Chains A and B, each alone.
Chain A
Amino acid sequence: MEQLTSFGMFKALQERIVSESCPEIPTIVVPAGTCGQASGALELIRAAHHHILKNNLQARIRIRATGCHGFCQAEPSVYVEPFDTFYPKVDPARMKDIIQAALEGRTVEDLLYVDDAGGERIERLQDIPFYRHQKRTLLSQNERIDPLEISDYLKIGGYTAFAGLLADNDPARIIEDVKRSGLRGRGGAGFLTGAKWEFLARQADGKGKIIVCNADEGDPGAYMDRSLLEGNPHSILEGMLTGALATGADQGVLYVRTEYPLAIRHLNNALRQARELGLLGKNILGTGFHFDISLVKGAGAFVCGEETALMRSIEGKMGEPRQRPPFPVQKGIENKPTLINNVETWANVPVIFRMGVEEYAATGGGEETGTKIFSLVGKIKNTGLVEVPMGTPIKDIVFNIGGGQSGKGGVKAVQTGGPSGGCIPAELFDLPIGYGSLAKVGSIMGSGGMIVMDENTCMVDVARYFMNFLKGESCGKCFPCRKGTQRMYELLDDIAAGRGTPGHLDLLEELALVLKDVAMCGLGQTASNPVLSTLKYFRDEYLEHIENKRCPAGVCKALIHFSINENCTGCGACVKVCPEKAIKGERKQQHVIDAGLCSRCGSCKGVCAFDAIEVR
């Protein structure tokens, strides 16, 4: 494609792309993000290519590999346009049936999604409960584009909003609009994006200004940013272009964690395409506006999600935070004024202008506007990415969209905000999702991880897990954070091992409160949240561990033992998997576990089909 040097050329290209697309030709859409590929999406594409080439169907059907659609539980899945048909868990051998059906305008009945509750087959994607209760403003773009093709993004109206704003050339107006939209930073604290932009715009121009996309999605259990980076990289570039236009930044940096190789490939490709087309670089669309973006890979450090640490990492140094002030917007990367927003925030920017500021601001509840993507994972039936308007009650997400618990135990809590967040008990599930509401109950919105925990999840173990994570991820610069996380871990480990005393709880709480107060950066200040929130809502579980030396959820190894009850049919399945050879018994007779040999690994419980393994 040739370089675009004017708005006229941009418009003409977009019109040509739209006119050349033939929406009536059926299209097989295969989500092939990292999750999809891990589940076998590439096998589906290979099978589809094979069938199409063998039967010369190239002219009659199309195939599109896209990013993630969000319903990870159903991967590898296939979606057929324009019929809106959805097939979960597809076997590559059945691709030819799906293609044939699509050609004839039919569906393949036996491959359709079956709803557990109703037991009936659901044909259309939008009728599936998982999708029906969402508002997929950002994610729905993923199924419509091949992330490797800039033309696909242009086809759905991509870069139009930016081109329009560039033509108007009114930076103050853009900032005003972003402020009016009510968009808040989707990465954690929820600072008003427009206000942040205004700070940067006000900085003197002399040295140049930098805007950064923070794609160091380090929260374990959160992957919405990955799905946007992989599935719709150009929307992030368009957001950053808009931000640059509004703030006068001339340099952009994408800071991507190295654990996301596919996202890095897609972004590099998108940057190349945008440059070739003249949407990045010098003299964009012939207007004299310059802006380019470079990609910097993180090298595996959770703390680099913190703004001041991230800036040091971009400078090629150890990612240690520093005390603010000075704030990044005053003194950032290489002492230039720097603005940092996360992936989802940038991806929301083009949506605001495409949708219209008023409509965007009307989405959501009260002061918090727009939609938020959550990664709903853990002990939940429908795991996946869920996009809902701000203000949606937690119970709608967990039960209507997520379909409730996956195992036998009921849902006990959700953990939001990753290691910096907290656990919210089921009694509070009426809580509308928002920055303020979550903070009130001792958690945070964070980047949007939502981990569902059930009766078989031990809250002491959860707190211990996060503290183990944090003590390894603390940069170690600030003494109370380095030692405080280590000491909290030791105390929690004692409690989990049955060595806890009431004094442990007091000391734990005291230390947690001080750390919140004195730590240098956000990581340390929020590191206490997992401890404080579980202590607040699940103190009785801690007390069970301490006073009765019992783990009610059956998780803490030192406090549980395994036995076999009379349900045992003597099938011997557990004997085969026991790594310690601790299970003995005659065939077709009830087996027994030698407690002395048992390492409490739980392998036997995993394979028992008769509910015969008891954990106490």
Chain B
Amino acid sequence: MVTVTINGLDVSVEEGMTILEAARFIGFPIPTLCYHEGLSPYGACRLCVVEIGEAPRSRLVSSCTYPVEEGLKIRTASKRVVQARRMIIELLLASCPQSKTIQDLASAYGVRTQRFKQEYEDCILCGLCVRMCSEQMMAKAIGFRGRGTERSVGTPFDIQSDVCRLCGACMHICPACQLRCTYNEPEKAICNACANLRPPCLEKEQYDDMMCYMDPCVACEIK
């Protein structure tokens, strides 16, 4: 066990835990987007940043990747942390306003407007689907392509991957857009799983046998 100070509270936590795990275990909430208990930590959305150390040398680190250390001083909701999270949420809202997850975050942090050029993207590149596909489904059907502003998630060459088992787990875990079933726009689908379900879910008498994680499902709404 190691002893750390979280928001002024001295607590003993298990060695090897991350700050995020320790804080949540004790009961301090930390928002996350790219984190999932069943997947390896990724540290990309930066929403989970916390302040460690003491001023003036304190700094922000992503709590999902940082292991607890003996004597570490952690603040999960300092002014600096909240300010950073609010800016990240503003950036998220500017890119992906339709996501319920992001809308909830914005309301929790009191972010009411965003000041950038509005974009409507389907994906925030949190990588949950990519890790889901490779770590839990052992498929590696989808992955990241390109870099910088050109980065995207998809299959090699944008054609249906022959290792995709159409399991739909990628859609299930996506935080940006719960309405990701793209049966009607197959070219926009990540893995084309929904478009390639045989028979397609729109033929509803077959529906009971299908694996569908969509809630609500666009196809179901249409019917």
Question: Is A486 positioned at the interface, with any CB of B under 8 Å from its CB?
Answer: yes
25 A-B residue pairs with CB within 8 Å: A303-B147, A322-B43, A322-B65, A471-B148, A472-B147, A473-B148, A474-B147, A475-B151, A476-B151, A477-B42, A479-B88, A479-B125, A480-B91, A482-B125, A482-B149, A482-B151, A483-B94, A485-B148, A507-B116, A511-B87, A517-B60, A517-B84, A518-B49, A518-B84, A520-B62
Question: Is A93 positioned at the interface, with any CB of B under 8 Å from its CB?
Answer: no
| List of B residues within 8 angstroms of A486 by Cβ | 149
Question: Is A478 positioned at the interface, with any CB of B under 8 Å from its CB?
Answer: yes
A478 to B115, CA, bound (A): 21
Given A472-B148, A503-B115, answer yes or no on A479-B124 (Cβ-Cβ < 8 Å): yes
- Contact A514–B83 (Cβ < 8 Å): yes
Cβ 8 A contact of B91, one of A303, A323, A325, A484: A484
When A and B form their complex, which 9 residue pairs have the shortest distance between CB atoms, in order from nearest?
A: A476-B151, A514-B87, A323-B65, A323-B43, A483-B91, A518-B46, A474-B148, A518-B84, A472-B148
Question: Beta-carbon contacts of A454-482 to B below 8 Å, as 1s and 0s?
Answer: 00000000000000000111111111101
A322: nearest chain-B partner, CB-CB: B43
| List of B residues within 8 angstroms of A503 by Cβ | 115
| List of B residues within 8 angstroms of A520 by Cβ | 43-44, 46, 62
A407 to B15, CA, bound (A): 62
| List of A residues within 8 angstroms of B92 by Cβ | 479
- Contact B94–A487 (Cβ < 8 Å): yes
Interface set, chain A 519-555, CB cutoff 8 A to B: 519-520
- Contact B148–A476 (Cβ < 8 Å): yes
Question: Is B219 positioned at the interface, with any CB of A under 8 Å from its CB?
Answer: no
| List of B residues within 8 angstroms of A325 by Cβ | 66-67
Hey, which bits of chain B sit against chain A, CB under 8 A? 33-34, 42-46, 49, 59-62, 65-67, 80, 83-84, 87-88, 91-92, 94-95, 115-117, 124-127, 144, 146-151
- Contact B91–A475 (Cβ < 8 Å): no
Question: Is A177 positioned at the interface, with any CB of B under 8 Å from its CB?
Answer: no
| List of A residues within 8 angstroms of B124 by Cβ | 479
- Contact A480–B147 (Cβ < 8 Å): no
Given A480-B88, A483-B91, A517-B84, answer yes or no on A475-B62 (Cβ-Cβ < 8 Å): no
Question: Is A355 positioned at the interface, with any CB of B under 8 Å from its CB?
Answer: no
A319: nearest chain-B partner, CB-CB: B147
| List of A residues within 8 angstroms of B95 by Cβ | 483
A205 to B64, CA, bound (A): 30
Residue among A479, A510, A511 with the highest chain B CB neighbour number at 10 A: A479
Question: Is A318 positioned at the interface, with any CB of B under 8 Å from its CB?
Answer: yes
A517 to B85, CA, bound (A): 11
Question: Is A490 positioned at the interface, with any CB of B under 8 Å from its CB?
Answer: yes
| List of A residues within 8 angstroms of B149 by Cβ | 471-472, 474, 476, 482, 486
A506: nearest chain-B partner, CB-CB: B115
| List of A residues within 8 angstroms of B150 by Cβ | 472, 476
Interface set, chain A 403-426, CB cutoff 8 A to B: none
Interface set, chain A 382-439, CB cutoff 8 A to B: none
| List of A residues within 8 angstroms of B43 by Cβ | 322-323, 478, 520
B33: nearest chain-A partner, CB-CB: A479
Interface set, chain A 318-333, CB cutoff 8 A to B: 318, 322-323, 325
- Contact A479–B46 (Cβ < 8 Å): yes
A480 to B88, CA, bound (A): 6
A473 to B125, CA, bound (A): 16
- Contact A519–B46 (Cβ < 8 Å): yes
- Contact A480–B146 (Cβ < 8 Å): no
A301 to B149, CA, bound (A): 14
Cβ 8 A contact of B147, one of A476, A518, A519: A476
- Contact A490–B125 (Cβ < 8 Å): no
Given A301-B147, A318-B144, A476-B148, answer yes or no on A323-B62 (Cβ-Cβ < 8 Å): yes
Given A476-B125, A479-B88, answer yes or no on A487-B45 (Cβ-Cβ < 8 Å): no
A215 to B49, CA, bound (A): 32
- Contacts A322-B65, A518-B88 known; list 4 others, CB within 8 Å: A477-B125, A480-B88, A482-B148, A503-B115
- Contact A487–B148 (Cβ < 8 Å): no
- Contact B147–A478 (Cβ < 8 Å): no
- Contact B44–A487 (Cβ < 8 Å): no
Cβ 8 A contact of B61, one of A323, A472, A476: A323
